[in-house]
A and B are shown apart, each in its own frame.
Chain A
C-alpha cells in the first residue's frame, strides 16, 4: 500500500471554505485512497466536507495532505494542483 504525503500553502483568498472546499472534496472523492488533511495538529477526512470545513483552513495557512492507497500518488498530485491553481479563482 502506497503512502504519499505533501505539504502545501493555501493561496486562494477564502481558504479551504465553501466553494473551494466543495471542489476539494469532490476531487478527493475521485480517488480510492484514504486521504487525510492536517492543519496544526488537527486532521480531517478529505472526503468529508464538514471535516474539511472544520479545520478552518484560511489564506496563507499550511496544510499537510496524506494519502494511503493504490492511487495515492495521483490523488496528491491532483489535489496539490487544485490548490496551486487557487481553485480557478481570479
Chain B
C-alpha cells in the first residue's frame, strides 16, 4: 500500500531507493556499556587521540569549496582542546570519576548551557557535542563505524553531522523523524547534495525497512511503497529535474525577470522559524507569508511577546532588505489550539476564524503578537497582515489594535518601529471590495487556497485536487484580475501566496494577469524564478486573457499545456 508522509525538505532534489533503518550508536547506550568496563586515563587519552584523527580525516574528506562544512566540524576539534570541555573531563577523572561518567557530566553541562540560550542557532548545536561524545565513546569501546550499502535511503530518528559525512557517498536519500533545516546534519546533507526530508514524525512508526521509497525533498514528501504509476511519474520527473537542476540552482540567488525584462519578485511562505535559513539560502527576496500558527502549537500556553519578537527579528534580519509579511494568528474551529477555547461549529470553514476572533476570543493574544511585530519593525522591514477579512470594519478594528499595541509599547518604554499594514485577500468579498480596501492598507496578499474554496464552495481539506478544487478556475482568475485592476497605480503592494504561486500551470497565468510578486515554499523559489525567466510578458498576457475567457478550469489547464508545448518547455510538476 502506498503511503505518503510529510516533513520538511532541506535540499531540492528527488531520490528513489530502498529504505534502510539506520542502526546507530546512542550516547546513553554507550555510556552504560562503558561504565561496566574498567577504563584507565590512558585508554581515554587514546580514544581522544583516535577521535581527533578521525575528525581530521572527515574534514579532509570534504569536497573542495565546502569550507562552511569544515567549520561546522572544526567546532568539534575545538571542543577537544577546550578547557571547559576536555579540561573539565580530565579534572573529573583525576578526582576519581569513571571516564564515561566524566564525559556524560561534561556533555550534560554543555547541554544545559545551550538550552538556556535565546539563539535558535545555538540550541541546534547541542547535537554537535553529542556527535563528538558518541565518537569518543565509540573509540573507547573499540566499535566500528556505522555503515550501509550503496544507494540506500536511510531512515533515522536523528543524525549527527559526522555520520552524514561518513555515509554521504553511499546514501541516496535521508529521512529523519526529528531535526530542522537549521540542524547541522541537515546543513551538511544540503551542502553535499543529498535529497533530505526532516521532521517526518511518523517515519519510524510506518517504516519497517527494505521498502521502496520516493524522497521528494522539493515538496517535503516521502512516498513509501509507491504504485507503479507513481514511480514512473517520479522517474520521469527526476530525469527532467536532474537535467535542468544545475542551471536552475546556479541562478537561484539572481533576481528573476521575464525574457523582456519585467522584474518578478519571488518571496517565501514560512511556517517554521528554521525555514528562514532555507528561504535565504535559496534566494527568496523576503517573506510574503509568515504563518504564525506554528509558534502556538505543541505547547501549553501562548508564546510570550519576547519569544515572538525574537522569531520575527531573526526573520527580518536574515532576509534583509526584503519585506517580511507576518500573518497574525489565523485559527478557528478547523484549526484548533488546545489552550484557546473554541466553539464547536458544524461548518468550521464558514465559522469564526481569522480576524473574526480578534474582538473578543483572542484579542489579548493577538495584541501581544502585534506588539512583538512592531518591536521587530525596529530591526527591519516588516508588515502586519490580517487574515479572513470580509469588510472594512474589520480592517479599521485591526488598525485600532495596532494603535493600542503602539501605545502600550510606548508606555512600557520598549523600542519599536513602523510596520506596514496589510490584509489577506482570501474571500470573494475581500476581492470584490479590493478597490475600497486599498485606501486603508499598504499591501495585500491573495491567498488562492481559501479564495478557491470560498469561490467554488469546495472544501479544500476534502477535495484538494482538480477537477473540483482548482485555483485555475476562471472565476478565481477573474477575482484575481479584479484585485490587480483595483491595486494598479495606487502604490499598494500586491502578491499571491497560495499554492497557485508555485503551480507550474498557474505561474504563467498569474504573471500574465499582472502579478509581479509570488510567495512560495522556500525550496521552490529557484524553480519559480526559472519559470518566470522562460517567457516574454506579451505572450503571458495573451495566455492570461484567453484563460479569463475560459468556462472551466479544465479548459484553462489545456490552454497552459498547449502553451508549454508551443514554447517547447517540458512540464515539471511538483
Contact = CB atoms under 8 A, between A and B. Distances in A.
Given A17-B125, A56-B118, A22 B74 contact: yes
A19 interface: yes
B118 A19 contact: no
Given A25-B78, A50-B113, A58-B119, A19 B84 contact: no
Contacts of A48: 82-84
Interface of B: 68, 71-72, 74-75, 78-79, 82-85, 110, 113-114, 117-119, 121-122, 125, 128, 317-318, 379
7 contacts: A18-B121, A19-B68, A21-B75, A22-B75, A48-B84, A50-B82, A58-B119
B307 to A, nearest CB: 14
A84 B74 CA distance: 22
B495 to A, nearest CB: 25
A17 B122 contact: yes
B486 to A, nearest CB: 38
Interface in A39-65: 45, 48-51, 53-54, 56, 58-60
Contacts of B128: 18
Interface string A14-31: 110111011101100000
Interface in A1-20: 13-15, 17-19
Nearest to B74: A22
Top 7 nearest A-B pairs by Cβ distance? A50-B84, A19-B71, A56-B117, A49-B82, A14-B121, A49-B78, A18-B125
A17 to B, nearest CB: 5
Contacts of A60: 379
Contacts of B78: 22, 25-26, 49
A53 B317 CA distance: 21
Contacts of B317: 13, 59
Given A54-B113, A56-B122, 9 more contacts: A17-B121, A18-B128, A22-B71, A23-B71, A49-B79, A49-B82, A49-B85, A50-B113, A53-B122
A59 B119 CA distance: 10
A46 to B, nearest CB: 12
Nearest to A51: B84
A52 B318 CA distance: 23
A3 B335 CA distance: 60
Contacts of A50: 79, 82, 84-85, 110, 113
Contacts of A18: 71-72, 75, 121-122, 125, 128
A15 B82 contact: no
A13 B121 CA distance: 10
Contacts of B122: 17-18, 53, 56
A14 B82 contact: no
B74 A17 contact: no
B162 to A, nearest CB: 15
Contacts of A22: 71, 74-75, 78
A10 to B, nearest CB: 12
Contacts of A23: 71
Contact of A19 (B72, B117, B119): B72
Contacts of A54: 113
A49 B119 contact: no
Contacts of A13: 317-318
B84 A17 contact: no
Nearest to B82: A49
A35 to B, nearest CB: 14
A14 B122 CA distance: 9
A25 B78 CA distance: 9
Contact of B84 (A21, A49, A56, A59): A49
A50 B86 CA distance: 11
Contacts of A49: 75, 78-79, 82, 84-85
A23 to B, nearest CB: 7
Nearest to A15: B119
A15 B313 CA distance: 13
Q: Which of B78, B125, B317 has the most CB of A within 10 A?
A: B78
Contacts of B117: 56
B119 A17 contact: yes
B462 to A, nearest CB: 42
Contacts of A51: 84
Nearest to A54: B113
Given A25-B78, A49-B84, A56 B72 contact: no
Contacts of A59: 317
Nearest to A89: B68
A26 B114 CA distance: 21
Contact of B119 (A25, A45, A56): A56
Contact of A53 (B72, B74, B113, B118): B113
Contacts of B121: 14-15, 17-18
A30 B415 CA distance: 40
A19 B113 contact: no
B82 A19 contact: no
